[in-house]
Amino acid sequence: MALEPCVRPVDARLGHGTRPGKRYWADCYGRACEYVLAHSRTGGPHAPIDGMHLVHGVCRDGDVVWAHAWVDLPGGIVFDGVRQAFYDRDSYRRVMQATEEARYHADAMIEWMVGTRRYGPWHAGVLGHDAIRRVEALPIQGS
How far apart are the C-alpha atoms of 136 and 77, rounded to whole Å? 29
Q: Considering just the CA atoms, what is the radius of gyration of the chain in Å?
A: 15
Q: Are 29 and 69 in contact (CB under 8 A)?
A: yes
Provide the 3-class DSSP secondary structure of residue 51: coil
Write out pLDDT tens, residues 12-21: 999 999 999 9
Neighbours of 7 (CB within 10 A): 16
User: Which phi and psi (to 5°) does residue 44 adopt?
Assistant: -65, 155
Q: Are 73 and 51 in contact (CB under 8 A)?
A: yes
Write out pLDDT tens, residues 29-53: 999 999 999 999 877 889 899 999 9
How far apart are the C-alpha atoms of 96 and 3, rounded to whole Å? 8
Model confidence at 132, in pLDDT bands (50, 70, 90)? low
CA angle 67/105/48 to nearest 5° reads 115
